[in-house]
Amino acid sequence: MSRPVPMLALVALLSACVVVSEYAPHSTPIEVGGSVESIIATDCGLDNAVFDIDGSLWVPTDLAEEDREGVPDGFQADNDTGTLTLRSEEEAEYRSSEGRVIELTRLSGNLRVQDCLYLPEPSAPFRTQS
């Protein structure tokens, strides 16, 4: 009979394995008012989304707390295919596949984000027997 793994030990192990990824811009310059299709990962919220337009990376301007973790309202789960539009030299927007608009500010340089890990719901091996 196998013994269940203590959930606290699993959480401690995963929290010690923090992965940080660094992204560099790959887009080409476009004219103000121009738009490009973009796919962003949404499972970890918009804090970890990478927006790349006009040769720069961009970050959300005023992100609501509920948009920081998990799939935000108005976005497709896993990956959302939307449109990035350059509004000015310092402002852009992302329009999600469901029509939600997020305002963006140009970032100078690369972007470092912490990769997210989801703990699955406890399953048979992790549940204690009563």
Q: What is the DSSP string of the chain?
A: -PPPPPHHHHHHHHHT---EEEE---PPP--TT-EEEEEEE-TT-GGG--EEETTEEEEESS--GGGSSSPPTTS-SSEEEEEEEE-SSSEEEEE-TTS-EEEEEEESS-EEEEPP-PPPPP-GGGSPP-
Q: Specify which residues 86 forms β-bridges with.
A: 92
Structural Rg of the chain based on CA atoms? 19
Give CA–CA dist 48/59, Å, rounded: 9
Q: Specify which residues 61 forms β-bridges with.
A: none
Of the given ranges (4-8, 18-22, 51-55, 109-113), which has the lowest mean pLDDT?
4-8
Q: Specify which residues 80 forms β-bridges with.
A: 40
Model confidence at 8, in pLDDT bands (50, 70, 90)? Answer: very low
Mark out the alpha helices in the chain (DSSP H runs): 7-15
At 55, which amino acid appears? G
Model confidence at 3, in pLDDT bands (50, 70, 90)? Answer: low
pLDDT tens-digit series, residues 77-121: 889 999 999 999 999 999 999 999 999 999 988 888 777 654 444
Q: Specify which residues 58 forms β-bridges with.
A: 51, 106
pLDDT for residue 19: 73
pLDDT tens-digit series, residues 23-54: 899 999 999 999 999 999 888 888 878 899 99
Model confidence at 18, in pLDDT bands (50, 70, 90)? Answer: low
